[in-house]
Amino acid sequence: MPSYAPPTGSRALKPPLSNRHPDFDALATMRERRAWWLRHLMQWHWISSAICLIGMLLFSVTGITLNHPNAIKVETHVERAEIQIGPAMRDTLARIAESSPSGPLPPVLRRWLADELGQPVPTLPAEWSSDEIYLAMPRPGGDAWLSIDLATGTVEYERVDRGTVAWLNDLHKGRNTGPAWSLFIDLFAAACIVFSLTGLFILWIHARQRPLVWPMVGLGALIPLLIIVLFMH
């Protein structure tokens, strides 16, 4: 007569449906729900981390350079130019200055200046007066300006370049970077929030198996708090 071998492996852990205890079903449901949350949190976590990777490196490195400005040697390059506009354009600008002393330079003048100076002239508002037009052209990592003498037609131009480090630092601060970069910073910050919150919930799920999770999280919050309380007055 053949002998009966009891089930082994995963089958031995599952009692028949008629004899299954209600707590077993509740535990199985809880595990399925935990696995579902963990799977989706991991997915959002890696997606947000991939999106934030290069930006986080950029902002981390420039955070160090901004925190130690005197330790980094900056070479400033200054470019100056002086050109002359024709009498017809000078008279046109004088009439504009008398009738509407505000707004950007005329498109024809901007194109001519860009060709002569080798640099684009933005459509920023200029400062108009009866004898001079002044246009400030701030940019990341440097500065530029030009002035037009309406009496003589002389255009003075100056461009200052403070180097790559200053350019990256201005990207970090959003200084003179324009609305597109400002929008990028907002989107990048939102992705960092998703990355941080999904990481927090993943830690919460694994906290029972890893007792050092919450002490390390608390330490990360305690260190800057102590520095603020003890050393910032």
What number of other Cβ atoms are within 10 A of residue 128's Cβ? 20
Query: SS3 for 22-85, per residue?
Result: HHHHHHHHHHHHHHHHHHHHHHHHHHHHHHHHHHHHHHHHHHHHHHCHHHCCCCCEEEEEEEEC
Say if CB 146 and CB 124 are below 8 A apart.
no
Burial (0-12, 13-18, 19+ Cβ within 10 Å), 81: middle
C-alpha dihedral sign at 77, 83, 89, 92: positive
pLDDT for res 205: 87
The domain segmentation of the chain, as residue ranges, is 28-73+164-209, 77-162
For position 137, what pLDDT does the model report? 94
Question: What's the Rg (C-alpha) of the chain?
Answer: 32
What is the model's pLDDT at position 21? 58
Half-sphere exposure of 209 toward its Cβ, with a 13 Å CA cutoff?
Answer: 4
Task: Supply the angle between the helices 87-99 and 107-117 in degrees, to the nearest 10.
Answer: 130
The mean pLDDT values, 10 residues at a time, for the chain of 233 residues are 52 52 68 82 92 94 93 89 92 85 88 92 91 94 94 94 94 94 95 94 88 92 94 85
pLDDT in the model for residue 10:
47
Tell me the two tokens of residue 70.
């005197």
Q: Spell out the residues 6+ positions from residue 191 whose beta carbon is closer than 8 angstroms to its own.
A: 48, 51, 52, 55
Amino acid occupying residue 19: N
For 165-201, write each residue's pLDDT tens digit. 999 999 999 999 999 999 999 999 999 999 999 999 9
| pLDDT at residue 168, rounded to an integer | 95
Q: What pLDDT is stored for residue 102 in this prediction?
A: 76
